[in-house]
Chains A and B, each alone.
Chain A
């Protein structure tokens, strides 16, 4: 099956920007999502982007999509300690009922 890949760890200092990267292989991906999971909690939908867009901004979050390279990134501006969590990239395809195919997650650690 197709894979969604993410780096496993990222450490940043409070106040810096964080950039979490994701690559996917299925060119039929229609929507791409970013979820946040805090320890012991469920998955919180942060934002999503439709495949015909190349950028979406929502407050401190900026999503960039390079469809040619199948590369997705999430930028968090002014990262705070409360942003420490695992971030999952997920794709959904029109031919699979929009079920989500997740990456393994990137663990973001924000240090004071």
Chain B
């Protein structure tokens, strides 16, 4: 069974540009999570979905960030406009609700905003 798939693996863009990160969760998983990892702040939850519905987006930094999950097999995280402080590794993870809510992570997208 394929794991969580993320694309692109690396993204370099200029400040002000729009960036879209993509995620395909593990088939059959009904929860999807977006995390961001930086040296300063470690791993932070940005948003999570349950059955394609956003449940908690309190971790989304500001209005420049938006996330969608149009169906059970696809999610996007968009940053518009991007800023240098958005440079980080963005991880997508998915899980089933039961029995142990184990989350499986994708390989991450390393974003560099110059």
Q: Which A residues fall within an 8 A CB radius of B?
A: 31, 33, 35, 41-45, 48, 50, 88, 92, 96-105
Contacts and interface: CB of A to CB of B under 8 A. Distances in A.
Given A97-B50, A99-B33, A105-B42, A43 B101 contact: no
18 contacts: A35-B105, A42-B91, A42-B105, A42-B107, A43-B91, A43-B105, A48-B100, A96-B56, A97-B31, A98-B31, A98-B95, A99-B33, A99-B48, A100-B35, A100-B93, A101-B45, A102-B42, A102-B43
Contacts, number: 53
Given A42-B91, A43-B91, A88-B43, A100 B103 contact: yes
B25 interface: no
Interface residues of B, number: 23
B12 interface: no
Nearest to B103: A100
A104 B104 contact: no
Most chain A CB inside 10 Å of its own CB: which residue of B35, B43, B56 = B43
